[in-house]
Structure 1
Amino acid sequence: MGAADDTRGGIEPPALRRGDWERTTASRAEVAAERIAAMVTDAEPGARLGTKEELRATCGVSVGTFNETLRLLQSRGLVTVRPGPGGGLFAAEQSPMRRLGNSVLALDTHQADGARAEEARRIRDALGPLLVEDALWHASPADVSALREGLADLAKAVQESDPAAFAAADHRLRTRLAAISPNMLLRSLYATLLPLAEPDSVEQLRDRYDHHAALIDAIENRDRTKALELARPDSRTDS
């Protein structure tokens, strides 16, 4: 993703300050991602969707939010980004597993057929212990440090009683945890199901934070029994 591939004058306009975009990126990025995902559905594999700047303007979001949108789209295997003249975003070739995961994302968790969405969440939650098992084996000190940075973002959201900021930080933290796994198929399926996480009430934030903190402690200490206990869906308040 070259910085000068498709922006005005080769330089992107500055992103908002971190404190500004953390509160709004998650929901707006998801909306923008779904809009571009719909374009991918209507396009042939490999078709050019437009430049980053063109699509950002179409979605009406900031540079920081669109960067998050790109991360979501790429994590789902929906688009590829090519630099240089004629570059931009292209509809990706999708494997059967990617198509399965992305079809799950199309579920409306508030529709009458909520049972299907609940089944998808159960699959997502069942993958959690597998990711934690991989983290116990493969997490480096740098990985643990990244997880603790994510934990600090959660703590800030709890302090400010901000469910939207907490949801965005929670998504980033789960994504970082999944990235530790060397199992590409596991990472891919989890990434497609992750956006199905339910929003939290202010009253739930502290318990959620404590759960994440205990899990990261267990991973760092290589406490397999404790980590896998915390990874079970029935040990959390967010299922």
Structure 2
Amino acid sequence: MSTARDAARTKATSRAEQAAQHIAQLTEAARPGARLGTKESLRTRCAVSVGTFNESLRLLQSRGLVTVRPGPGGGIFVAEQSPMVRLGNSVLALDAQETDVADAVRIRDALDPLLIEDALWHASPADIADLRERIEDMAAAATASDPVAFVHANWKLHARIAAISPNSLLRSLYDNLLDLIETHTLDVLPASDQPLADYIAERHQLHRDLVDALDARDRETALRLIHEHNTSLADPQR
């Protein structure tokens, strides 16, 4: 049974890679920032399922080849790979919209203490268990030396903390900010003499301690940790 499942997964991965290569060829013939088409039109052109095409997009975005823009006039565009935003002792390499992402990071940080306060009051044992699962995802990415996977796991942890809040407006605003940051991030690079692996290990431990503080309803420690988390983002642009 597992062999058949593995074979199906390998086949799906192969089709996703083939579709990604097809779209990569389109980017080579287009200028940076050019619109390649809608997700549906390109998916149809590649003749793959929605799930397979989404995996192709993930591959293309991780390689810095395309960016996806929602809304009217949106679609899939050839990436413009120059802006960067500082994130502590690392740098987010972006496909575009440096100012928008830097602003989103700062606003997100301003909202973090509000969400921590809500989590201290409202987190259930099931919520804490989910947060610990997100922490383990961060640990796995750190062990694999995959900084991009680490920051994505980090953002999923913060999204899960936000989900605890009973304030629907706060949750929606925070999720939209995270989505903007995540959509435009291509890579994570070192920003100082500190090795990126060491910085990631520190961030992992800080977030683990934060979840422990939420579990213990230790307000003083939780707010101190989220303050340390956010003051490391001083001078967010680079």
How high is the TM-score relative to the length of structure 1?
0.54
Bigger CA radius of gyration: 2
Q: Is 2:213 the partner of 1:218? A: yes
Q: Is the 8 A contact 2:138 2:204 kept in 1?
A: yes
Q: Is the 8 A contact 1:15 1:62 kept in 2?
A: no
Q: Comparing both structures, which one devotes a greater share of its residues to strand?
A: 2
Q: Is the 8 A contact 1:132 1:228 kept in 2?
A: yes
What letter matches 2:227 in structure 1? Answer: R
Q: Secondary structure at the match of 1:182?
A: coil
Shift in CA distance, 167/234, structure 1 to aligned 2, threshold 3 Å:
closer
Matched residues, number: 166
For 2:45 and 2:114, locate their aligned partners in 1 and report how far apart those are by CA, in whole Å: 36
Structure 1 unaligned blocks of 5 or more: 1-13, 21-37, 41-48, 69-77, 80-90, 92-107
Q: What's the CA shift for 1:164?
A: 1.9
Other-structure match for 1:232: 227
Q: Is 2:52 the partner of 1:62? A: yes
Give the root-mean-square deviation of aligned CA atoms: 4.3
Counterpart of 2:199 (choices 195, 200, 204) is: 204
Q: What's the CA shift for 1:203?
A: 3.1
How high is the TM-score relative to the length of structure 2?
0.54
Q: How does 1:181-192 map to 2 (within 5 A)?
A: 181-192=165-176
Q: Is the 8 A contact 2:213 2:221 kept in 1?
A: yes
Q: How does 1:67-216 map to 2 (within 5 A)?
A: 109=84, 114=98, 117-194=101-178, 195-196=180-181, 199=188, 201-216=196-211
Q: Percent of aligned positions with the same letter in both sequences?
A: 39
Q: What's the CA shift for 1:152?
A: 0.7
Shift in CA distance, 169/187, structure 1 to aligned 2, threshold 3 Å:
same
For 1:130 and 1:139, locate their aligned partners in 2 and report how far apart those are by CA, in whole Å: 14
What letter matches 1:219 in structure 2? Answer: L
For 2:49 and 2:233, locate their aligned partners in 1 and report how far apart those are by CA, in whole Å: 30
Q: Is the 8 A contact 1:208 1:238 kept in 2?
A: no
Q: Is the 8 A contact 1:109 1:117 kept in 2?
A: no
Q: What's the CA shift for 1:171?
A: 2.1
Q: Is the 8 A contact 1:131 1:177 kept in 2?
A: yes
Shift in CA distance, 65/50, structure 1 to aligned 2, threshold 3 Å:
closer
